[in-house]
Chains A and B, each alone.
Chain A
Amino acid sequence: MTASTAATTAGDRNLVRARPSGFLRDLVTIAKRALRSIPREPETFVPALFIPTFFFIVNVGALQNLTEGFPGNEDFNYRAFQLPTAIIFAVTGISRAPGLVTDIQSGYFDRLLLSPARRLPLLLGLMVADFVLVVGLCIPVLALGFVFGVSFGTGLLGVIVFILIGALWGVAFTGFPYTIALKTANPGAVGASFILFFPFAFLTSSTVPLEQLSGWLRTVARYNPITYILESMRSLTGDTWEWVDLGQGLVAILVVASVSHGLALAALRGRLDRG
């Protein structure tokens, strides 16, 4: 075939042609693909249910009698106190970052980059799926809390806000594993990103109230954003809406999200520049 014949034929063929799809459609496309992957990879979320359930049951069994019924603090309910900790354990570090590493290693991420899709939805779409996943993870942990007799004085709306805070924290933290995924494309490094969670999770009021912590730990806990997120969630199991606690919790989430997502966006930009 000659070049000129070919060019003519190309012009005559059917009219299905590519066009920019728009930010929102790119976002939905990437998020839907990521959501489809979740039930196909149960190994990515089953441990996230087991660990908080285990800690919740063990901590309540070990510490309930030690912490409840003290004079002046008769209303303290350790099960309600522990439930936000279990939720934070369930949702922190859960992300599609390992899937992103697989996409980078297999070349599928390059296939996405070859398309005219905007670059930001390639990351944000995964985070949308993460949000749906962590909401899904909150529900069984919350159900366990109900089985243990935890109640919400703020009603159904309080329960929804409780889940929302947990989910927002979960998504705020995802920036760290995504940063590592984009920087290293190494599944081992992404897996190790869970280590980042330890100072967040244990240098705080996760097992006993802030005022019960010893001197140095209490000081560290005061600077730990998780402390304020836990307090905001705990406030919802009380009888009234504690707006200051809720506000502080949301600010803590925003601070962590700005750092972690800022790093993730910089890592994305770096990967795009490196090629």
Chain B
Amino acid sequence: MSEAVIETTDLRRNFGDVEAVRGVDLVVEPGEIYGFLGPNGAGKSTVVKMLTTLLKPSGGSARVLGLDVATQANQIRLRIGAALQDASLDQKQSGREILRVQGQLYGLTATEIDQRIDELRSVIEFDAIDRWVGTYSGGMERRLDLAASLIHNPDLLFLDEPTTGLDPTSRAEVWEEVRRLNADFGTTIFLTTQYLEEADELADRVGIINAGTIVGEGPPGDLKRTVGSDVIQVRLAEGSDRQGAYDAVVGLDTVDHVDQGPRGLLISVKNGASAVSPVAIALDGAGVSVTDLTLRTPTLDDVFLELTGDRIEVAA
């Protein structure tokens, strides 16, 4: 196997007394889309800032493209691109001016910059390239930000919550572009997100971070299989005996695992179709009032719940 594109060992970062990142071990292979999933404040952006050389680690080590983030930051910057949280663009410059500044700072000649702008036509809204960024929509800004990150053909692209705040159409466009970059150019992509669907759709592997530590890692399918083949979601009526409901189903043969949520139960089962009836009968037998009972396949949110006892809350 070729050398890891990102490799961290016990990576730490403190802000005063607050431990934002508490010993992260990561390996990202060339050509991967690695999804870094976690709720707000989990430490995702802090890890990205350390890997992109914006922030010095308080402890541990990190190598990006084989280079040490602490001692070889300049060489790393030449080979990575990054679109950080919220499109970071100058509102009173045109798209073309921003791309030109970006290209010049990466040492590209005027001809090379023009060539790259032409190659990035599919990423940016080309008709608007000579308009001030202040006139762009959120989706257009994100795509220009992405283009600015790609102007120098980076080997590794960091996308920090690239679709947060975007409408579904713009989100789908960014996803398509991420897939294309990875498929057509082999760009390794490290993507942080708080959207489960995004990690599920895009990532070859997902690392789940919570409170500054990685609590789970693997391909989305494998992670979901750890929860069970299917999930029965039970919503209890107001004032129902939650513990009674838990006790009624936890011992059933068809049930693998039961989690108690704020409004009901999440029951992991091997075969959903055959487990629904016994679960419903058991709950009815225990005198529990159920308002909703749904059978579905597990999501990464179920994995997160399984690993942390909490759900990822996303402010849409």
Contact = CB atoms under 8 A, between A and B. Distances in A.
Interface residues of B, number: 52
Contact of A107 (B53, B85, B92, B112): B85
A19 B106 contact: yes
B171 interface: no
A270 B102 CA distance: 24
Contact of B52 (A107, A114, A117): A114
B90 A18 contact: no
B105 A26 contact: yes
A5 B186 contact: yes
Name the prevailing secondary structure of the A interface residues: helix
Interface string A1-33: 111111111110110111111100110010001
A273 B58 CA distance: 12
Interface in B205-235: none
Interface stretch (B75-83, B239-247, B286-294): B75-83
Contacts of B44: none
B55 A14 contact: no
Interface stretch (A36-44, A70-78, A81-89, A169-177): A36-44
Contact of B155 (A4, A10, A29, A36): A10
A16 B115 contact: yes
Given A4-B2, A6-B30, A13-B186, 15 more contacts: A1-B31, A2-B31, A3-B31, A7-B30, A9-B185, A13-B153, A14-B153, A18-B107, A18-B152, A18-B154, A29-B105, A33-B90, A107-B87, A107-B88, A111-B148
Interface of B: 1-2, 29-32, 49, 52-56, 74, 77-80, 82, 84-93, 97, 101-102, 104-108, 112, 115-116, 119, 148, 152-155, 182-188
Interface of A: 1-11, 13-14, 16-22, 25-26, 29, 33, 36-37, 40-41, 103, 106-108, 110-117, 273, 275
* 8 nearest A-B pairs in the assembled complex, by CB-CB distance: A6-B31, A107-B88, A275-B55, A10-B186, A6-B186, A9-B186, A18-B152, A21-B107
